[in-house]
Chain A
Amino acid sequence: MQFEETLKRIQTHKGVIGTIVVNAEGKTTLDNSTTVQYAGLLHQLTMKARSTVRDIDPQNDLTFLRIRSKKHEIMVAPDKEYLLIVIQNPSE
């Protein structure tokens, strides 16, 4: 419940373009083609990033990943089963 409320707040936050919840296999609820593309690519990238962090120190773990591009910022927060992706336009 708390999670849903938080998610709602994020979605209605200023500048947020979209939010995607990806499960462990890379499936999302909305099977829009861009969504699926985002989900798949970011999933792989997050796994790689997490692997890197943990290889260096196994007791460490990835908290989140930010990718800032010219147009917007993609924020990925991984979890054991899920991946939460938020795309925001920070300059607004």
Chain B
Amino acid sequence: STSATNEKTNMLLMSVWSCFFGQDEEDGTEMGEGDEWMQGKTLIKPLDQLDLTEAELKEEFTRILTANNPHAPQNIVRYSFKERSYKPISSVDQLAVHFVLEGNLLHQDSDEARRQRAKQGGEDAGDVEEGGGEERADSVESKAGKKEQKITNQFNFSERASQTLNNPLRERGCQTEPPPRANFSATANQWEIYDVYLEVLQKQEKNKEKAKAVPKKDDDKGKKKMMLVETQSDDITKVAKVAKIIERMVNQNTFDDIAQDFKYFEDASDEYREQEGTLLPLWKFQYDKAKRLSVTALCWNESYKDLFAVGLGSYDFTKQGRGMLVFYSLKNSTFPEYIYPTTSGILCLDIHKHLPYLVAVGFYDGCVAVYNLKEETLQPIYKSTAKSGKHTDPVWQVKWQKDDMDNNHNFFSVSSDGRVVSWTLVKNELVFTDIIKLSLAGAVSEGPEGVQLPIMACGTSFDFHKQIDYLFLVGTEEGKIHKCSKAYSSQFLETYNAHNMAVDAVKWNHFHTKVFISCSSDWTVKIWDHTIKTPMFTFDLNASVGDVAWSPYSSTVFAAVTTDGKVHTFDLSINKYEAICQQPVVAKKKTKLTHIEFNPVYPIIIVGDDRGYVTSLKLSPNLRKKPKEKKGQELPKGPEVEIAKMEKLLSLLREPENSNA
């Protein structure tokens, strides 16, 4: 190109000029710049220079400097199968490699390095790694396993090793307290499993009750207290129960012979005595604190055949003081089961036939009370007061009746003030109803203003008919017995002039519905048929008769006690005129017997006296005779037999009367 040749010639010119003008411009490169510098001086045109016009000289020619490789091909074509033709490649590699030099460094961890190391040992390994400081070299050396001595600076090196303080080692051990251990062993028996089930059941039931009680707040609190108390008292009562059992066992041992007699002894000598029998003394019951009191009432418990109640008080008008209600069991004769002290002497008591824990008591001061044996307190659950119709005179007899129509319990009482009163237990109160007023027939006293007031008779005993509910008998102090009905309050159905003195006891026969017995201080015991006004039998016992009782096993056997300390036992089917047994049962002669009761099942009787003792006696076989069966005939059983027996006796008596009449 022309421009290029222009430049070449210019450069030649420069070099020529430099030779001519000095040695300031030695470098060739500086000559290039001198192109403009040279224009200040005169121009010498070379001979073969082109002649260009001014316009052509001023024409600018652009030169572009690119990074393209001038040697790279620009027309490479490739066959494209897609388009089935040759296509030029758009981008061609413009890289021109001018110089390549391979280094001889290997990474120390590369395979080749390892191979070399393995071949030549640790020396080359040290040479391989030169980068890094002394430390790295050291570490590499230690890795290799051979030590190389450190080359230290001879002039300027100071060892400055330091070591931290090694704290002295101390052993510190600690041990927790081992948890307390206990040996546990248990057996899995059938009964243990049963117990656990029972407990779970009880808990469930308690939870149910709690769930029910939750809506009532007050009740709930009350129940909570109750439950707490129960758990406490459970322990005490359980131990008390055990102690009771032991006490009974100890007593059984001490009185072993009596217990054996009670159960098994039958007097063999009765076979040799024709008709007579004997009473074998068994236990004697006495209570220290009751020594000065006399037994005023006795009653067996119908449900618990070994339990009986003793009422203590005094018959003496002048010596009236406190009284006591005491319960004994045959299983323990040394100490009573229940003791209730009272302010006034007790004169009579009765235990409810079906509810063995309810006891009705009549006092000398005219009150009546009802005790509940289940309660812990020593107070009666009901007591009559002056407002609620208590008697004004001593209450001589009380008797439980069947529950009335509202299912309330009720009992009757008879007193010297002439009233027979019915008491009903309504919730918390004792409601009284006068049933009948015993007025002396015909006897009237002159009251103020000429009004005639009937004089009241004093009732001393009564008894209710076993089958006919409304029928009852009342004995009075005047010696009369009135047959009354609950329905008629002012009139008697019948009156018997029974005795000359007060009627101490009147009792219906257990079997025969028409027969009753009465006894009195006029020394007599009389047996009646209530349809006939005169007695069937009369017995004179030579002493004031305190009490008489029918036996529960025979309609013809009864026993009476007298103030001379004797028990008279009669069996009308054997001997109609005399007692088959007359036996003193108390040691001291002056003791008066006051009451007698037959046990409902066992062949024993209890007798109370005026010194506070109760003696139990066993009836010998002769006293318990049942009618002999004829050979070949079946032995008839049941109350009908007894009735028939009595009826036979009575009919014998009636016939002469009928014939007389």
Interface residues of A (CB under 8 A from B): 2-3, 6-7, 9-10, 13-16, 51, 54-55, 58-59, 63-64, 66, 73, 75, 77-82, 84, 86, 88, 90
Given A10-B250, A14-B254, is A3 in contact with B194 using a C-beta cutoff of 8 Å?
no
Q: A3-B243, A10-B243, A78-B242 are in contact. Are A86 and B250 (CB under 8 A)?
A: yes
Majority SS of interface residues in chain B? helix
Interface majority SS (helix, strand, loop, mixed), chain A? mixed
In the complex, what's the smallest C-beta–C-beta distance from B51 to chain A, in angstroms?
A: 145
The 8 closest A-B pairs by CB, nearest first: A54-B191, A58-B194, A58-B191, A90-B253, A6-B243, A3-B240, A79-B242, A77-B242
* Complex contacts, B241 vs chain A, CB 8 Å: 79
B240 with A51: CB separation less than 8 A: no
Docked-complex contact A90 and B191, CB < 8 angstroms:
no
Across-interface contacts of B334 in A (CB, < 8 A): 9, 13
Known interface pairs A54-B189, A54-B190, A55-B191; A75-B242 also in contact (CB < 8 Å): no
A90 touches B246 (CB 8 A): no
Apart from A13-B334, A15-B250, A84-B239, 13 more pairs, CB < 8 Å: A6-B246, A6-B247, A7-B243, A10-B243, A13-B250, A14-B254, A51-B189, A54-B190, A55-B190, A58-B193, A75-B249, A80-B238, A88-B250
Instruction: Assess whether B245 is in contact with A64, with CB atoms less than 8 Å apart.
Output: yes
CB-defined contacts of A64 to chain B, threshold 8 Å:
245-246, 249
Is there an interface contact between A82 and B242, defined as CB atoms closer than 8 Å? yes
- Within residues 214 to 257 of chain B, which ones have a CB less than 8 A from any CB in chain A? 235-236, 238-247, 249-251, 253-254, 256
Instruction: Name the A residues within 8 Å of B242 (CB-CB).
Output: 77-79, 82, 84
What are the interface flags for B554-567 relative to A under an 8 Å C-beta threshold, 1 for contact and 0 otherwise?
Answer: 00000000000000
Q: CA of A88 to CA of B539 in the docked complex: distance in angstroms?
A: 49
Please name all residues of chain A whose beta carbon is closer than 8 Å to the beta carbon of B251 when the two chains form the complex: 13
A51-B191, A58-B190, A77-B246 known; A88+B238 contact, CB < 8 A: no
State in angstroms the CA–CA spacing of A33 and B91 once bound together.
120
Q: A69 to chain B: closest CB distance in Å?
A: 13
A88 touching B190, Cβ below 8 Å: no
**A62 to B97, alpha carbons, bound, how many Å?**
117
Chain B nearest Cβ from A67, distance in angstroms: 12
Give chain B interface residues in 142-197, CB to chain A under 8 Å: 187, 189-191, 193-195
Contact between A2 and B249 (Cβ–Cβ < 8 Å)? Answer: no
B357 part of interface (Cβ distance < 8 Å): no
A79 to B235, CA, bound (A): 10
**List of B residues within 8 angstroms of A10 by Cβ:** 243, 246-247, 250
Question: Across the interface, do A79 and B250 meet the contact criterion of CB distance under 8 Å?
Answer: no
Find out whether the CB atom of A77 lies under 8 angstroms from the CB atom of B249. Answer: yes
B496 CB-CB contact with A under 8 Å = no
B191 contacts A75, C-beta separation under 8 Å: no
**Contact of A79 with B254 at beta-carbon distance under 8 Å, contacts A6-B243, A10-B246 already known:** no
Cβ contacts under 8 Å, A3 to chain B: 236, 239-240, 243
The residues of B that contact A13 with a CB separation of less than 8 Å are 247, 250-251, 254, 334
Q: Which residues of B contact A14 (CB under 8 A)?
A: 254
Which residues of chain A come closer than 8 Å to B195, judged between CB atoms? 58
Would you give the shortest CB distance from A87 to chain B, in whole angstroms? Answer: 10
Q: Which residues from chain B sit less than 8 Å from chain A, CB to CB?
A: 187, 189-191, 193-195, 235-236, 238-247, 249-251, 253-254, 256, 334-335
Q: How far is the CA of A50 from the CA of B187 in the complex (A)?
A: 13
Contact with B256, one of A51, A63, A90 (Cβ below 8 angstroms):
A90
Give chain B nearest CB distance to A31 CB in angstroms: 21
B254 and A90: CB pair below 8 A? yes
Chain A residues near B187: list those with CB within 8 A: 51
Q: Identify the interface centre among A63, A73, A79, A80: most chain B CB within 10 Å of its CB.
A: A79
Assess the B249–A79 pair: CB atoms within 8 A. no
Q: Are A15 and B253 in contact (CB under 8 A)?
A: yes
Contact at B247–A9, with CB atoms within 8 Å?
Answer: yes
| Among B191, B238, B254, B334, residue most surrounded by chain A Cβ atoms (within 10 Å) | B191
Nearest-neighbor residue (CB-CB) of A73 within chain B: B253
> Can you show 6 pairs from A to B with CB atoms below 8 A apart?
A9-B334, A10-B243, A63-B245, A75-B249, A77-B242, A86-B246
Please, how many angstroms separate the alpha-carbon atoms of A77 and B242 in the complex? 6
Contact: B246 with A15, CB < 8 Å?
A: no
Chain A residues within an 8 Å CB radius of B238: 79-81
The answer on a CB contact under 8 Å between A9 and B335 is yes
Looking at the assembled complex, report how far the CB atom of A37 sits from the nearest CB atom of chain B, in whole angstroms. Answer: 20
User: What's the least CB distance linking B26 to chain A, in Å?
Assistant: 128
Q: B193 — which chain A residues lie within 8 A by C-beta?
A: 58
Identify the interface centre among B244, B245, B253: most chain A CB within 10 Å of its CB: B253
Taking CB atoms, residues of chain B closer than 8 Å to A88 are 250, 253-254
Instruction: Give A65's nearest chain B residue, CB to CB.
Output: B249
A75 and B240 contact, CB distance less than 8 A: no
- On whether the beta carbons of B194 and A59 are closer than 8 Å, the reply is yes
- Candidate in B238, B247, B334, B335 with the most chain A CB atoms within 10 angstroms: B247
| Chain B residue at minimum C-beta to C-beta distance from A89 | B253
Name the B residues within 8 Å of A73 (CB-CB): 253
Q: Bound state CA distance, A55 and B190, in angstroms?
A: 6
State the CA gap A79–B238 with chains docked (Å).
7
Q: Residues of B contacting A2 with CB < 8 Å? A: 236, 240, 243
A90 to B253, CA, bound (A): 5
What residues of chain B lie closer than 8 Å to A6, measured between beta carbons? 240, 243-244, 246-247, 335
Shortest beta-carbon distance, B203 to chain A, in Å? Answer: 17
CB of A82 within 8 A of CB of B239, answer yes
CA distance A12 to B244 in the complex (A): 15
Complex CA gap A82/B236 in Å reads 11
Residue of B nearest to A72 (CB): B253
Instruction: Please state if B250 and A55 are interface contacts (CB–CB under 8 Å).
Output: no
Question: Which residue in A54, A81, A86 is a CB contact (below 8 Å) of B249?
Answer: A86
